[in-house]
Amino acid sequence: MKLKLAILPGDGIGPEVVREGLKVIRAVCARFGHELACEEALVGAAAIDAAGDPYPEATHKLCMESDAVFFGAIGHPKYDNDPSARIRPEQGLLRMRQMLGLYANVRPVSALPSLVHTSPLRADLVEGVDFVCIRELTGGLYFGRPQGRSEDGLTAYDTCLYSRHEVERIVRLAFDYAMRRRRKLTVVDKANVLATSRLWRQVAGEIAAEYPGVETEYMFVDNAAMRIIQSPRSFDVIVTENMFGDILTDEASVIAGSLGLLPSLSAGLHTSVYEPIHGSYPQAAGKNIANPLASILSAALMFEHSFGLHDEALAVRKAVALSVERRTVTEDIAAGAASFTTSEVGDSICKLIAEA
């Protein structure tokens, strides 16, 4: 099979983790006999510096023409600390999601048995956790209009907007995921306060009637935030709106022990995007210490979802699990033991894939 990928390293540690993910993709293609074609493009702060645009037209064209997008991270402190900045790197990410129609962000949450001790949660809470968060990605507060500040600068406002169509398509996707898993879906909202959440709950209830084989529960977001910590094994599939999903999935990362361990898939109308859930972590950029496992596991998601290559995805996951078991890990999950560099972890996983 021929795989055509758009490579968007982005900012901060993005280029370093993407480099290792791409290294692993090449190792898998070599082992299984696939032809790989890659082209790199700019996004985020790097694109602003080079082209004055966080998501240039050339980058979008490449994404549309590719089978999948392999993405790093976006963000730079010089924009974070400048409230007057007219263009920000994050605008590139939002535009990419909007222009590619990426309405669904899928984030699997689990803990490798050999890393249970790295989680701040007790081992008896973490062991056996396996759930999926499905976050609506192109609506809500992040895209709502109007948005802005008053003329005197003393008042700011954002608007949370959702249409029935937006809610229905993401909820149906979540039910389909639940049907392929343990047949339980948790719809997370704030329906006691927010009109948009009441729309979510209404639409979810109507669709639930079409899936009698799925146990459907409804949970306020504050309760869900507590339950993810108190009883994470009680979840199978979670579906929620954009901002709630953003917060809850970052919270859920502590179950695995590090933000550097969780991959994600953003799917929708056009080309799917695969990326680690962590940010650009600029403090670590260029130091070769960032954890590449989330990027590498995102490659496993890519093989599975964009190409239907399940054996290839399994090969990546097995190599990651074995490498971690042998304690070839970066400092964030070394727990005081000897640690390895970003590139050494990538090399270890490539070697395991080649030898399997």
**DSSP assignment of 117-161:** GGSSS-HHHHTT-EEEEEEE-SSGGGT-SS-EE-TTSS-EE----
Region 20-39: what's the mean pLDDT?
Answer: 98
For the cut 70, the answer to whether the pLDDT of residue 294 exceeds it is yes
Distance of CA 209 to the CA centre of its chain: 29
Tens of pLDDT along 307-319? 999 999 999 999 9
In this predicted structure, what is the pLDDT of residue 254?
86
Query: Nearest CA to 259 among 287, 295, 227?
Result: 295
Region 25-40: what's the mean pLDDT?
Answer: 98
The C-alpha atoms of residue 246 and residue 248 are separated, in whole angstroms, by 6
Please indicate whether residue 142 is annotated as part of the active site: yes
User: Are the CB atoms for 92 and 43 separated by under 8 Å?
Assistant: yes
In this predicted structure, what is the pLDDT of residue 356?
83
Q: How many CB atoms lie within 10 A of CB 200?
A: 29
Tens of pLDDT along 264-285? 999 999 999 999 999 999 999 9
Region 21-39: what's the mean pLDDT?
Answer: 98
In this predicted structure, what is the pLDDT of residue 297?
98
Annotated active-site residue in 79, 190, 211, 347: 190
In this predicted structure, what is the pLDDT of residue 84?
63
For the chain, report the end-to-end CA distance as a whole number of angstroms.
20
Please indicate whether residue 250 is annotated as part of the active site: yes
Q: What percent of the chain has pLDDT over 70?
A: 99
The C-alpha atoms of residue 13 and residue 291 are separated, in whole angstroms, by 9
In this predicted structure, what is the pLDDT of residue 156?
94
For the cut 70, the answer to whether the pLDDT of residue 55 exceeds it is yes
7 bridge partner residues: 40, 70
Region 196-222: what's the mean pLDDT?
Answer: 98
Q: What is the mean pLDDT of the chain?
A: 95
Element (H, E) at 29: helix 14-32
In this predicted structure, what is the pLDDT of residue 83?
64
Distance of CA 314 to the CA centre of its chain: 19
For the cut 70, the answer to whether the pLDDT of residue 255 exceeds it is yes
Q: Which of 56-70, 135-149, 255-269 has the highest mean pLDDT?
A: 56-70
In this predicted structure, what is the pLDDT of residue 118?
83
Annotated active-site residue in 80, 130, 176, 250: 250
User: Are the CB atoms for 39 and 62 separated by under 8 Å?
Assistant: yes
The C-alpha atoms of residue 307 and residue 336 are separated, in whole angstroms, by 39
In this predicted structure, what is the pLDDT of residue 82?
65
The C-alpha atoms of residue 351 and residue 198 are separated, in whole angstroms, by 51
Higher pLDDT, 135 or 83: 135
Higher pLDDT, 85 or 174: 174
Region 122-150: what's the mean pLDDT?
Answer: 93
Domains of the chain: 1-100+267-356 (3.40.718.10), 120-256 (3.40.718.10)
Residue 356's identity, in one-letter code, is A
In this predicted structure, what is the pLDDT of residue 79?
83
Annotated active-site residue in 142, 162, 177, 211: 142
Annotated active-site residue in 189, 246, 332, 347: 246
Please indicate whether residue 222 is annotated as part of the active site: yes
Contact partners, residue 87, CB within 8 Å, separation at least 6: 48, 52, 53, 54
